Amino acid sequence: MSRFTLRIVIALAALSIVGITATQLYWVRKAFDLKENQFNTDVNQALENVATQIFEVNKMATPANGLVTQESSNYFTVLVNGPIDSNLLGFLLKNEFDKKNITADYQYGIYNCSEQCMVGGNYISPTKNKIPASISELPSLKLDGYYFGVRFPQIEANLVSQMGIWGFSTIVMVVVIFFFVYTLFVILKQRRLSEVQKDFINNMTHEFKTPLSTISISTSVLKDPSIVQHPERLLNYATIIETESSRLKQQVERVLQMARLEKNDVGLKKENADLHQLIQEAVKNISMSLNSKQAAIELKLKATNSVALVDRLHFTNVIYNLLDNAIKYTESSPSIIITTNNQAGQFLISVHDNGIGISSENQRKIFHRFYRVPTGNLHDVKGFGLGLNYVKLIVEAHKGKIAVTSEVGKGSTFTISIPN
């Protein structure tokens, strides 16, 4: 799948998710409004029936105009123009609400407008059969005579609880969207891994092709019978074959090491070692590369306690990899500074170079397997993109940490902390 096609797929997927979500929210809101309107209609009819019955009990004529007024979304008032018995009102409300299948908790209060106070009331919970410890007074209104008010304090929660199918469909939609996004994420991740592995194969082919070509040319020269008459040439080509074979062996060993690390089969052989000595050995091992690039290296070994429990071979390789990167990613003559210190029971090693630097975006990726900082030409810097990943895994296997600070064009500093 091309990059352009993938972008179109992602854009369409995003639009689909937004469209589905908006549609679901619209219909859920519509369903809630219908429930609310139906509830208000049922409450109005129930309260009108209650008012009619109270007028009959008081032997008063029922007014022609509306008896019920909805003061707010959850508060209704009914003007009855006469005294009301609280127990009778409670019985009538319960009876009418049961007929309308109204199961929401409600509170009612009776008001005497001449005294401007609530003279009776109660809190009813049809489904839970409980009464709160204290009943809050309902809002009083400037009306003539007697009236009663009914408030539904938890009406929104009650209406939502009745929207079972819509709640279920919303949960299903969220789950579908989650798996859709997760699948898209997996596709993007697999595509990235595919690209990274493709780059790795290209780099590995290039890394193996060069020494094999050199060995092939050298063996062709050695087949010439006259070569024995030139011992210095014979030694030279034999040395070339040995060097290139050693280089191939190192590359294969590095790939095998990463395979073992992936399976958590590092097999560290830890022992107390002088880390200053291991740093010096790593510098010695890379001396040929230092000389070929006219690199200058300065050791500032300031740590007073340089002994730690480490695997000598792997730890030396860690320092070697950092030095190798410092040399490879420097355009002019490399200048490298290795500094050590002790801090809070940790042995700190920092490797500073004057190389091309690493952007903040790439700093988050350099420890990923196969990742290589872009340098323009794919093969102008040799390697598989395994070095820093190996360094990070080995440092963490020693219960240590590694961090990088860098600025493009001004070099990089890698800092390792190891318990000692």
Which tens digits make up the pLDDT trace of 173-226? 888 888 888 888 888 888 777 776 776 676 667 667 767 888 888 888 888 888
CA distance 55 to 49: 10
Mean pLDDT computed over 355-367: 85
Mean pLDDT computed over 47-58: 87
Instruction: Give the burial class of 270: count Cβ atoms within 10 A of its Cβ; 0-12 exposed, 13-18 middle, 19 or more buried.
Output: middle
Residues 123, 135: contact at Cβ < 8 Å? yes
Residue 137 gets which letter from DSSP? P
User: What pLDDT was estimated at residue 1?
Assistant: 61
Confidence class for position 303, pLDDT limits 50, 70, 90: very high
Name which of 350, 338, 339, 333 is nearest 296 in CA terms.
333
User: What pLDDT was estimated at residue 232?
Assistant: 85
Residues 353, 326: contact at Cβ < 8 Å? yes
Name which of 278, 281, 258 is nearest 270 in CA terms.
278
User: What pLDDT was estimated at residue 266?
Assistant: 60
pLDDT above 70: residue 114 = no
Mean pLDDT computed over 92-106: 88
Which residues contact residue 279 at a Cβ distance below 8 angstroms, ignoring those fewer than 6 apart?
A: 299, 301, 319, 338, 340, 349
Residues 317, 394: contact at Cβ < 8 Å? yes
**pLDDT digit string (tens) for 394-403?**
898 899 999 9
User: What pLDDT was estimated at residue 264?
Assistant: 59
**pLDDT digit string (tens) for 226-273?**
887 888 888 888 888 887 787 787 677 767 766 666 665 566 788 999
Q: How far is CA 243 from the centre of its chain?
A: 47
Q: Quote the percentage of the chain above a pLDDT of 90.
A: 17
Worst-scoring range by mean pLDDT, 12-26, 95-109, 156-170? 156-170
Rounded to 10°, the helix 3-57/164-222 angle is: 170
Please count the residues of the chain: 420
Mean pLDDT computed over 310-321: 88
In DSSP notation, 29-76 reads HHHHHHHHHHHHHHHHHHHHHHHHHHHHHTT-PPPSS--EEEEETTEE
List Cα–Cα distances, 294 to 287, 290, 320, 330, 331, in angstroms: 10, 6, 17, 11, 12
**pLDDT digit string (tens) for 119-161?**
566 677 665 554 444 445 555 555 556 788 888 888 877 777 7
Which ranges in 309-404 belong to alpha helices (H)?
Answer: 312-328, 360-363, 387-397
User: What pLDDT was estimated at residue 378?
Assistant: 38
CA distance 214 to 240: 8
pLDDT above 90: residue 87 = no
List Cα–Cα distances, 55 to 89, 121, 145, 219, in angstroms: 12, 19, 13, 119
User: What pLDDT was estimated at residue 298?
Assistant: 93
User: What pLDDT was estimated at residue 215?
Assistant: 86
